[in-house]
Structure 1
Amino acid sequence: MRRLILLLYSISTFLFSCNPTVEKNIDPNFVLCLFNKDESPTSFLLVERLDEDENASVQIPLSTARIREREYIQKNGFFYRLSNSTSVFTKYQLRGSSLVLLDSLHLRNPNVETVSWKDDENLLAVCREDIAEQKSQARVYQINVKEMKIVREDTIILPHATDEFWALHVGLVDFEKDDLWLAYSFFKSKGKYGYTTSDTTYYATINYDSFQLKTIQKETRSTYPGGFNLIQSYSFKDEKGDYYFMTNPGIALGNNVKLPTAIFRKKKGQHLVDQEYMINISASIGNHAYGMWYVGDSKAVIRNEQKQLYTDFSDFHSVYQFEYRLVDLKTGVIEKIDFPLDKGTQKENVWSDDHYIYAAIDDANDEHRVWKYNLHTKEVSKGIELPNTTNYTVRLDYLK
């Protein structure tokens, strides 16, 4: 399977400087993005293979300070950054052992939450707009990445749930039969963790030519669809073109823990979500999960928390608690993958081919490596070990 990939971020504004550590031409197949223990620049680690005996080709520092943002997309050999702090969209290319800034453009506003490719040259970016009148507005940008131009920009007003829940979260976007499909929910500020999400998910279909709202479908089986997908994957299309997605109401995202994490389906060519299909992850494993990656043959990997191991959100990201599980999308059967426990939230660290699932894991022994799961034999083995300066692995991405 060849997935599109997301890449990492810089604490700088829209200027992005990468000084190569080695001057040589490379043609890597994979890139891992690493936080470093000594607070030195976060870096890209470029490698040819993910096997245990592989050595890194080159490591590229990304900034002069610790990274605070994760908002990169990669497609067809180019890297794109959507900065929520600066509202700037930038384009880069890997040349030899350097990342070169090619172009940039300004968006009207920040708060971009989700993106989807309309075609190979046009990216759809959807953001929420916070306005005083408490109207739930979403702004949609169509960006032609070849010409680096905003070719379309429109605003959608989505009726908010209640006077209490009016702040908008747009978690998913799909383009189907000339219509734009959005999955979203509403939240409010609350106490220690800052917010909680309402108990309803909404699916809106918008005619893309006229930008008129056609239908809204309500979902009460779970809430907080998708998430900030510039950081982590929550949806995919299978070989038949059916669209699968996850809701994430747990403490790390939606903070409505009474409702379950679940997987839903929208069949190819349809705008309505299949009301007869739901995989209730929380009911099966007793925990919430975050992140979902398709590995082929109607199976997906999820990354779940363990509520007995953390205290609250203050230590949620730092506790070694995260498990990886394989979900059969046809039967709903969920099996644990015997990887070491991982730490950290919001990681895009899973990739697969026809034989293996690969996961970049930071374990309790302070070992940072890629682990492999054989899809045919179910055996777990070691992959490439990352530099001992690594503190935290954020991404594992396939470049070809």
Structure 2
Amino acid sequence: MRALVFLSFFISIFLFSCNQITEQNIDPNFVLCLFNKEETPTSFLLVESLDEHEDVSIQIPLSTSRIGEREYLQKKGSFYRLSDRSSVFTKYQLQGASLIPVDSLQLRNNNIETVSWIDEENLLAVCREDVAEKKSQARVYQINVKEMKIVREDTIILPHATDEFWALHVGLVDFDKGDLWLAYSFFKSKGKYGHTTSDTTYYATINYGNLEIRNVQKETRSTYPGGYNIIQSYSFKDEIGDYYFMTNPGIALGNNVKLPTAIFRKKKGQHLVDATYMINISDAIGNHAYGMWYVGDGKAVIRNEQKNLYTDFSNFHSVYQFEYRVVDLKTGAIEKINFPLDKGTQKENVWSDDQYIYVAIDDSNDEHRVWKYNLKTKEVSKGIKLPNTTNYTVRLDYLK
């Protein structure tokens, strides 16, 4: 039965064909996920370097659907994707110029919101369960990706605060010393924009052995922690193991715009969030932000909107408005990077090394390029230009 499910999913969703831009096989360091013009398939662009004059690359078209192809995980050269239609979790590997399906698992749920790696082989995936009796249930999967088997599958009931806000959003999950740490909030349906989030964030520490809730900490300074991190990053651990995360109450995620986007911290070995630490992004820049990436040396990059440039959510994603800024996590200082304005919501398009920050941007001149920011000199320069068939770049991943 498992083989039939896998075969059906492969045939219907991922009919891969390979279109080599050059005949030379390469050993790629990076993969970019591109939405292509004129409804042509979404594709992976594999490159060895992000430098401006890079020209040895391979492009692999994915399915004909232009929606959902950004939703994959990448770990040590293997790719993992959960189908929204069939709830099949599939593993792929690169072989030459092809992306080959290796194995698959059937899950109960298709709306995985957040994931975290326990180690190199074990993935924690958490989602909410939509239930008629309005119980706030979270389902937790532990998946061994080496053997492609479900090690554990359980349900956690997180009591909701009010009858008005009962729908559960689990935005962040961390695993530390045998305990699960979940950051979550509650939302309700609301008119034109679909939902709005309550004014409170909750942090729950849960014994992973018996799933007993040890404690719940309330946060009222901001709401909607994390987000759909298969698509975009909202948390990281620094060099000493402190865990930083962002709340996202802006119009594109939590839709409780009166509360600020903010960065919080949970120190290494602690389950309680540091009540003395908060970087108020919205207060500093006058806008909300979405996405956060660590670039080393106590600094992170955020991607912020400009509320004077969009009308409402109907054109939020299509307006060239998004800026990138460097946040000093020690002082709270925020500095704008002079990149071209970007468009589009929920992008996983930032990577860094010891010298540069690299960001894949779709600018108002219809140029799709990776831009570079020198961490020492603060100079901006051009990186690799993407194919002319590109109209939208949603991911940039480092494979090595």
- TM-score, length basis structure 2: 0.96
Query: Identity rate of aligned residues, in percent?
Result: 83
Could you say which residue in structure 1 is the equivalent of 2:138? 138
Deviation for aligned residue 1:71: 1.7
Q: Distance in 2 between matches of 1:372 and 1:56?
A: 19
Equivalent residue runs for 1:292-331 within 5 Å: 292-331=292-331
- Given the alignment of the two structures, is residue 266 of structure 1 paired with residue 266 of structure 2, yes or no? yes
Q: Distance in 2 between matches of 1:54 and 1:70?
A: 23
Instruction: Give SS of 2:190's match.
Output: coil
- Given the alignment of the two structures, is residue 370 of structure 1 paired with residue 370 of structure 2, yes or no? yes
Q: Distance in 2 between matches of 1:127 and 1:70?
A: 18
Are the counterparts in 2 of residues 114 and 125 from structure 1 also a CA contact under 8 Å?
A: yes
- Given the alignment of the two structures, is residue 195 of structure 1 paired with residue 192 of structure 2, yes or no? no
Deviation for aligned residue 1:68: 3.3
Which residue of 7, 10, 15 corresponds with 1:17? 15
Q: Distance in 1 between matches of 2:383 and 2:248?
A: 30
Could you say which residue in structure 2 is the equivalent of 1:167? 167
Could you say which residue in structure 1 is the equivalent of 2:111? 111
Gaps of 5+ in 2: 1-8
- Given the alignment of the two structures, is residue 242 of structure 1 paired with residue 242 of structure 2, yes or no? yes
Residue correspondences, number: 390
Could you say which residue in structure 1 is the equivalent of 2:79? 79
RMSD: 1.3
Could you say which residue in structure 2 is the equivalent of 1:338? 338
Range with bigger deviation, 257-266 or 45-54? 45-54
Deviation for aligned residue 1:39: 1.2
Deviations 1:320-372 (A, max 9, x none): 00000000000000000000000000100000000000000000011110100
Q: Distance in 1 between matches of 2:358 and 2:26?
A: 22
Which residue identity lines up with residue 75 of structure 1 in the other structure? K
Q: Distance in 1 between matches of 2:10 and 2:281?
A: 38
Which residue identity lines up with residue 14 of structure 2 in the other structure? F
Deviation for aligned residue 1:87: 1.1
Deviation for aligned residue 1:69: 4.5
- Given the alignment of the two structures, is residue 45 of structure 1 paired with residue 71 of structure 2, yes or no? no
Q: Distance in 2 between matches of 1:182 and 1:306?
A: 30
Q: Distance in 2 between matches of 1:24 and 1:100?
A: 19
Instruction: Give SS of 1:44's match.
Output: strand
- Given the alignment of the two structures, is residue 185 of structure 1 paired with residue 185 of structure 2, yes or no? yes
Q: Distance in 2 between matches of 1:212 and 1:253?
A: 29
Could you say which residue in structure 2 is the equivalent of 1:7? none
Q: Distance in 1 between matches of 2:346 and 2:56?
A: 24
Deviations 1:221-255 (A, max 9, x none): 00000000000000000000000000000000000
Instruction: Give SS of 2:295's match.
Output: strand
Which residue identity lines up with residue 18 of structure 1 in the other structure? F
Deviation for aligned residue 1:56: 4.1
Gaps of 5+ in 1: 1-10
Q: Which has the higher contact order (CA 8 A, sep 6+)?
A: 1
Superposed structure 1 runs of 4+ greater than 6 Å apart: 11-14
Could you say which residue in structure 2 is the equivalent of 1:4? none
Could you say which residue in structure 1 is the equivalent of 2:213? 213
Instruction: Give SS of 2:192's match.
Output: coil
